[in-house]
Amino acid sequence: MLAVQNVTMRFGARILFEDVTTTFMPGRRYGLTGPNGSGKSTFIKLFTGEQEIQTGTIQKPRKMGVLAQDQFAFDPFRVVDTVIMGNKGLWAALQERDLIYAKPDITDADGMRLGELEGIVADEDGYTAESDAAILLTGLGVPEHLHESSMGELQGGQKVRVLLAQALFGNPEALLLDEPTNHLDLESIHWLENFLSRYKGSVVVISHDRHFLNGVCTHIADIDYQTIIQYTGGYDDMVMQKMQIRSRLESENTQREKKIAQLEEFIQRFAAGTRSSQVNSRRKEVERLAPNDLARSNIQRPYIKFDQNKPGGKHALEFEHVSKGYDGDNGRLEVVRDFSANVARGEKIALVGRNGAGKSTLLKALLANAPSVTELDRAIDDGEVKWGHEVSVGYFAQDFRLSIPDGYGLVDWLRQFDPDALVETIRGVLGQMLFRGDEGMKRTEVLSGGEGCRLMFCKLMLQKPNFLVLDEPTNHLDLEAVIALNTALQTYKGTVILVSHDEDLIDEVATRIWSVTDAGIEDFQGSYAEFLASRG
């Protein structure tokens, strides 16, 4: 069981949460929610020991699975060994056992110790550790031929999957998962949802994926009002309950204020008269009816709205026989092969498929000659791409940090995308994306991942393109920002091509699906729900 009692975390004058007591019960799956900066990751680190507790006490089980955040810490190790390291006791026993067996002469003391170690290995299912690790890796989409590779040979998304397998390995009594769906494709997310739904221990997960939280969580632990409040159900259930409670308290306060106004009017009329007992009674009633002091929420909601300078032509994009590949150790790898399609103005297309299937590669091939796109990593091997009349493209790259050069103030960098915009207009757009006060004075080189992501949306709002190409735009956003983006894309009148692992975003925005597989690209004319239904 995971629990905290009377825990307070402050950083200077800023209070994240104060005097919090809460318990995470076995068999329940808790989504830990709150805006960026509210203290979600800090709370997780209290249990892992990475963050020293300031006041209060914590309770945790002996075996916990934790999703490691440092993708490079395990580069020298085999992939399968990295997974087994998730069971620290087993891994330590295996390492010590191997050292003893490697000795040229084994003493009686070594023999005694080997017996103890073999007991630990047996108790921790160490004799099936490699096969158990392989099952986890395969389920998360790490192919078998990579299991013996070193972590340093893997791509970023593959490393995340291995670290997730590490957290899940060894049947821990509790799981602490900080953004486990980042860099996972939809098939891997579905596998993880099913795994967690069968898991018997406590789960505490931080995620910006609303669909994932709704599908997995039995409870939500929401960090707000400088405390942690638990709600039953998924994310949408929490939002509804939270709104109802807040509305009820505000309504009660309104009624109290009306009643107090009536009582005070009576007190003023008769304070100097002969009805002193009634006046005193009403004064006591005023004190009793004092409105509840409602704490301010720390939730900040960005406002995203994509406009168009011009709508562009009826045929936004046409391409024929597009192919793109890369040179690898085993020769040329054809990622996109002979794909042709026409995109009409106003269509909203979602690319789905396993990581590495070629979704980003296809986008970069189509953008090779795209108007108003300046990013360098764009190329096509074969085929013809024609952009429509007066089409202007707004591009959000998956590695968007390469799009933001160092050495600029935010206003100065944004001004190039709308030279006619007043400084006040640019500051207004920055404010919409929560760069308020001193935040708007930051330099581009000091931005966090989430801040850089929000700055890219400022750029797109100033550009006012009529064709948006978005490659994994939600990876660094909190839930409030993801919901704002979802709403903005639904109301946008232009054309969209979108790569995302956020199932709600795809389901609620897309009108057409390009399914990227090893066998090629299927062009499905219809919504994501219809696409899934067609697959049975």
**pLDDT digits 0-9 by tens, 355-398:** 888 999 999 999 999 998 989 889 999 999 999 999 999 999 99
Under DSSP, the state recorded for 73 is T
Of 49-53, 198-202, 327-331, 474-478, minimum mean pLDDT range: 327-331
My answer on whether 221 and 246 are in the same domain is no
Read off the pLDDT band of 329 (50, 70, 90): low
Q: What is the mean pLDDT of residues 471-489?
A: 92
My answer on whether 254 and 122 are in the same domain is no
Position 337 scores a pLDDT of 93
Which of the listed residues 124, 148, 169 is the one where a domain comes to its end? 169
Residue 188 CA to residue 355 CA, distance in Å, equals 9
Q: Answer whether residue 229 is part of any domain.
A: yes
Position 85 scores a pLDDT of 94
Residue percentage of the chain with pLDDT more than 70: 96
My answer on whether 412 and 517 are in the same domain is yes
Q: Would you tell me the crossing angle of helices 156-168 and 186-198 to the nearest 10 degrees?
A: 10
Reported pTM = 0.78
Q: Which single residue is written with the structure tokens 């979108």?
A: 498
State yes or no: pLDDT of 294 exceeds 60. no
pLDDT tens, position by position, 428-468:
999 999 998 888 899 999 998 889 999 999 999 999 999 99
My answer on whether 410 and 499 are in the same domain is yes
Q: What is the mean pLDDT of the chain?
A: 90
Residue 523 CA to residue 464 CA, distance in Å, equals 28
Position 536 scores a pLDDT of 74
Q: Answer whether residue 306 is part of any domain.
A: no
Residue 469 CA to residue 499 CA, distance in Å, equals 8
My answer on whether 185 and 257 are in the same domain is no
CATH number at residue 487: 3.40.50.300
DSSP E strand stretches across 25-73? 29-33, 55-59, 64-66
My answer on whether 371 and 458 are in the same domain is yes
Q: Answer whether residue 295 is part of any domain.
A: no
Which of the listed residues 250, 270, 288 is the one where a domain comes to its end? 288
My answer on whether 332 and 455 are in the same domain is yes
My answer on whether 114 and 254 are in the same domain is no
HEC states along 277-316? Answer: HHHHHHHHHHHHCCCCCCCCCCCCCCCCCCCCCCCCCCEE
Which of the listed residues 169, 186, 220 is the one where a domain comes to its end? 169
**By residue range, what is the domain housing residue 43?**
1-62+173-233
Of 83-97, 316-330, 381-395, 412-426, minimum mean pLDDT range: 316-330
Q: Answer whether residue 350 is part of any domain.
A: yes
My answer on whether 165 and 178 are in the same domain is no
My answer on whether 217 and 270 are in the same domain is no
| Range among 161-165, 357-361, 487-491 with highest mean pLDDT value | 487-491
My answer on whether 216 and 326 are in the same domain is no
Per the structure, how many domains does the chain have? 4
My answer on whether 56 and 108 are in the same domain is no
Q: Answer whether residue 301 is part of any domain.
A: no
State yes or no: pLDDT of 135 exceeds 90. yes
